[in-house]
Amino acid sequence: MAGLAHPKTAPSAGLDWIPRVWNNRLVRTTLYQAVLFGGVIWMFAYFTGNAVENMARLGITSGYGFLDRPANLPIGEGIIAYTPADSYGRAILVGLLNTFKVTIIGCVLVTILGVTLGIMRLSPNPLLSGLVQTYIEVIRNTPLLLQLFFWYVIVRQLPAPRQAFNPLDGVFISNRGVQIPWLEADAGLWWIASALGLAILGSLAYRRMAMARQARTGEFTPVLPLALVLLLVLPALAAWLFSVPIIPTIPELKGFNFVGGTSLTPEFTALLTGLTMYTIAFVAEIVRSGVQSVAHGQWEAARSLGLRDRRILRLIILPQALRVIVPPMTSTYLNYAKNSSLAVAIGYPDLVSVVNTTMNQTGQSVETIAILMAVYLSISLSISAFMNWYNRRIALTER
Where does this chain bind another protein (CB under 8 A)?
29, 32, 35-36, 39-40, 42-43, 46-47, 50, 54-55, 57-61, 72-77, 83-85, 149, 153, 156-157, 160, 175-176, 254-257, 259, 266-267, 344-347, 349, 353, 356-357, 359-363, 365
Q: Which is nearer to another protein, 218 or 255 (CB)?
A: 255
* Shortest CB 247 distance to another protein, Å: 21
* Shortest CB 2 distance to another protein, Å: 41
* Shortest CB 260 distance to another protein, Å: 12
Q: Which is nearer to another protein, 54 or 378 (CB)?
A: 54
Q: Which is nearer to another protein, 96 or 280 (CB)?
A: 96
* Shortest CB 196 distance to another protein, Å: 30
Q: Which is nearer to another protein, 328 or 363 (CB)?
A: 363
Instruction: Give the pairing type, strands 262-264 and 177-180.
Output: antiparallel
Cα-trace Rg, the chain? 30
* Shortest CB 37 distance to another protein, Å: 10
The CA distance from 69 to 28, in Å, is: 54
Helices marked H in the chain? 2-15, 17-22, 25-57, 88-121, 126-140, 144-156, 189-217, 224-241, 266-292, 296-304, 309-312, 318-339, 351-362, 365-394
For residues 330 and 336, the answer to whether their CB atoms sit within 8 Å is no
* Shortest CB 353 distance to another protein, Å: 7
Q: Which is nearer to another protein, 252 or 300 (CB)?
A: 252
- Candidates 291, 293, 314; CA nearest to 302 is 314
Q: Which is nearer to another protein, 29 or 194 (CB)?
A: 29
Q: Which is nearer to another protein, 48 or 214 (CB)?
A: 48
Q: 105: burial class by Cβ within 10 Å (0-12, 13-18, 19+)?
A: middle
3-class state of residue 165 by DSSP: strand
* Shortest CB 164 distance to another protein, Å: 12
* Shortest CB 357 distance to another protein, Å: 4
Q: Which is nearer to another protein, 134 or 163 (CB)?
A: 163
Q: 341: burial class by Cβ within 10 Å (0-12, 13-18, 19+)?
A: middle
Distances (CA, A) of 286 to 110, 120, 291, 331: 12, 13, 9, 11
Considering Cα of 258, then 262, then 265, then 269, what sign does the dihedral take? negative
Interaxial angle between packed helices 88-121 and 126-140, expressed in degrees from 0 to 180 and rounded to the nearest 10 = 150
- Candidates 137, 76, 72, 68; CA nearest to 101 is 76
Can you say whether residue 59 is alpha, beta or left, with left for phi > 0 and alpha for psi between -120 and 50 degrees? left
3-class state of residue 308 by DSSP: coil
Q: Which is nearer to another protein, 261 or 266 (CB)?
A: 266
For residues 91 and 71, the answer to whether their CB atoms sit within 8 Å is yes
* Shortest CB 305 distance to another protein, Å: 54
The CA distance from 265 to 176, in Å, is: 6
DSSP string, 26-60: HHHHHHHHHHHHHHHHHHHHHHHHHHHHHHHHTT-
Q: Which is nearer to another protein, 31 or 394 (CB)?
A: 31
* Shortest CB 32 distance to another protein, Å: 5
